[in-house]
Structure 1
């Protein structure tokens, strides 16, 4: 019985550890600042953005008119840039499939590094740009709520 309890406890603890989400790098608490990074005028560079699927939320039980839930795959080449954009009207979760990418966020005085297997949360307070400073391509999956189906902002 004692051995069984140890085995069950170990399996539960391991399962909890494996099921916990891996959030991406975050801004260190002492580096959080208002308007720490100003908007930049970099256009997109070395980025492909493909919509993989959408759901019209006006036709779902949540009935949010003129909004889509969508999944996009972004490929950012070495030296590539995802230009400055805001998530004031478009919350998103970004899963880093492969590679490592640097975020320059308006509310953080230092760059934030995001690595493969991590998830970045982008809320209404997020304005930023991303840059692939590495030697390998970066692949991201973006899960967002978009108000305009023709919105091509990254």
Structure 2
């Protein structure tokens, strides 16, 4: 390749890389959600899965009591490490808002509002909140999965392993 064309070719390659990253970003933003044709308007009954192979580590807790007229609540962030074949047990988010970020690995969610399992992969996040929101997660990937979870809880739930 001629030196005089090298900058143009590098520019084209950089543009192609940016376009690929943009396309990947768009698909990643849509990944990890229930397919539109499988979303349920009314929650279904989800089996009551047990707690298996979960290590929970509280990373930080912020007391938000009284902030903007909130009651006695805490903002908590935890790291959940899910062993191979581990299960994050069945739980509800009717009154406990949460955001989960998949820091590493791939995990399957069984949600009351989706008729099929939902796969979540590294770099994806999902909000969890609302009437009827219930689910459980399982690690069938063959590798350990790390989740970061931030939720709002009353002080008596801080030490509850299932919450």
TM-score scaled to structure 2, two decimals? Answer: 0.75
Q: Distance in 2 between matches of 1:22 and 1:146?
A: 27
Alignment match, 1:5: none
Matches within 5 A, 1:44-59: 44-58=51-65
Partner of 2:160: 151
Structure 1 pair 23–57 and aligned structure 2 pair: CA distance change class (3 A): farther
Matches within 5 A, 1:41-80: 41-58=48-65, 61-80=67-86
d(CA) in 2 for partners of 1:62, 1:99: 37
Q: Pairwise mapping of residues 5-154 of structure 1 onto structure 2 (< 5 A)?
A: 22=29, 24-33=31-40, 34-36=42-44, 38-58=45-65, 61-125=67-131, 126-147=133-154, 148-154=157-163
| Count of aligned pairs between the two proteins | 139
CA distance in 2, matches of 1:46, 1:31: 29
Superposition deviation, residue 41 in structure 1: 2.8
Unaligned runs of 5+ in 2: 1-14
SS in 2 for 1:58: coil
* Structure 1 contact 93–143 (Cα < 8 Å) conserved: yes
Distance 1:150 1:43, change over 3 A: same
Distance 1:80 1:35 in 2: 24
Shift of 1:73: 0.2
Aligned equivalents of 1:144 and 1:23: distance in 2? 23
**Which SS does the other structure have where 1:150 is aligned?**
coil
Q: CA deviation at 1:63?
A: 4.2
Query: Which structure carries more helix by proportion?
Result: 2
TM-score by length of 1: 0.79
Indicate the SS of the match to 1:62: helix
